[in-house]
Structure 1
Amino acid sequence: MTTNLDSTQLEKLTDTDINDTVLKLKKELFELRLQKATRQEIKPHLFKQKKKLIAKLLTIKSKKS
């Protein structure tokens, strides 16, 4: 969903959209950690990708307020 958006599109999101997306991404990160712990095959680059997107969204949210 939001992984394909650039920063100008991310800035247009409302606070509730940002909060929902951050929660969704944190849940996905948790699931990735769970897969890693159970030694399932994962794509390691997804950890960094999701963390960066969470940070970007939270930065945009703090700039708005």
Structure 2
Amino acid sequence: MLTVEELIKKESDLRHELFNLRFQHGTHQLENIMRIRSVRRDIARIQTIINELRS
């Protein structure tokens, strides 16, 4: 099980990846558009786990 700090770091990395994916999508360089959805859902899952651990 990851600690809250590790989860926050992973969320930050995913947000950075999401930014890059959106940029690539805007410039028509992104081949797999479904990756954006996958990263967004991973971020939501991590946020849920962080909230559960904090309460």
TM over 0.5: yes
Q: Which runs of 4+ in 1 moved over 3 A?
A: none
Specify which structure has the bigger relative contact order, considering alpha-carbon pairs within 8 angstroms and separated by 6 or more residues: 2
Aligned match of 2:42: 53
Q: Which is worse superposed, 40-49 or 26-35?
A: 40-49
Q: CA RMSD in A?
A: 0.8
Structure 1 gaps of 5+ residues are 1-11
Structure 2 gaps of 5+ residues are none
8 Å contact kept, 1:15–1:61 = yes
Report the TM-score when normalising by structure 1. Answer: 0.78
Matched, 1:19 2:24: no
Give the total of aligned pairs. Answer: 54
Aligned-pair identity in percent equals 28
